[in-house]
Structure 1
Amino acid sequence: MSIPKENKSILLTVILLAAAVVVFFVDWLFSQNSIFPSRRGDLTIPLWLFFAIDVGFIVALVLGVRTKKPSVVWFSIIANSIFFVLLSGVMFLLMIANGISEQ
């Protein structure tokens, strides 16, 4: 079962959004046996994961703009731009928190 070319950018956007939510909440939900090594409060691994997801939103934006369906193009431009800006803001706040907590 293959996914049509027009729907790949939408599917990638949904997967990246779910991945961002999982990365955001996983350390809080499983704080006893955290997947992030080192000490509690180290934010470097979530920052790198958020950076990879942010790059994925740019890739999804490019894939969506290259399709021929106008509805997919508009969805891709609006949704991926909003998610990119919001995730970049979260990353900026995490970088500030990481800088404050470093010793």
Structure 2
Amino acid sequence: MDKSFKNNRKGGKPIYLALILLIATIVFLFLPRAVKGTNLWVDVAFYTITDIGFLVALILGIKTKNKPIVLFSVLLNGALFIGVTIFIYLLLVVIGIAGPN
């Protein structure tokens, strides 16, 4: 019974990684409001790094043998990856409209 618990815990790492990245993304979303004068390129860099993290979590989720974790990981990380990518695109559009600083 102890081995099965370790296997379930090991298989949940992609989900934990996705949730940690989601919390970091939400916290960083409200950070520029608290700190005035931040550059939008910092946001683009941070969200790009978290986007790469969602891809890593997606790959780790696909490599697990547990089918529910694979399904949940693909759905969660896929949705978050697409959402953050769209948000990065919109930030880049805002930077393009605003012009160089």
State the partner residue of 1:47: 44
The alignment's TM-score, normalised by the length of structure 1, stands at: 0.84
Counterpart-to-counterpart distance in 2, 1:86 and 1:79: 11
1:7-47, Cα deviation, whole Å (9 max, x unpaired): 1101000000011111111111x134xxxxxxx26200010
State the partner residue of 2:74: 77
Instruction: Specify the structure having the higher radius of gyration (Cα).
Output: 2
Identity of aligned residues (%): 32
For the 8 Å contact 1:6–1:67, the answer to whether it is kept is: yes
For the 8 Å contact 1:67–1:73, the answer to whether it is kept is: yes
Counterpart-to-counterpart distance in 1, 2:20 and 2:96: 29
Counterpart-to-counterpart distance in 1, 2:74 and 2:31: 29
Unaligned residue ranges in structure 2 (runs of 5+): 1-5
Q: Does 1:31 align with 2:26?
A: no
Unaligned residue ranges in structure 1 (runs of 5+): 33-39
Instruction: Give the residue type in structure 2 aligned to 1:54.
Output: D
State the partner residue of 2:22: 17
The alignment's TM-score, normalised by the length of structure 2, stands at: 0.86
Instruction: Give the residue type in structure 2 aligned to 1:11.
Output: Y
| Larger fraction in helix | 2
CA RMSD between the two structures: 1.7
State the partner residue of 2:3: none
Instruction: Give the residue type in structure 2 aligned to 1:53.
Output: T
Query: How many residues of Structure 1 are paired with residues of Structure 2 in the alignment?
Result: 94
Counterpart-to-counterpart distance in 1, 2:58 and 2:38: 32
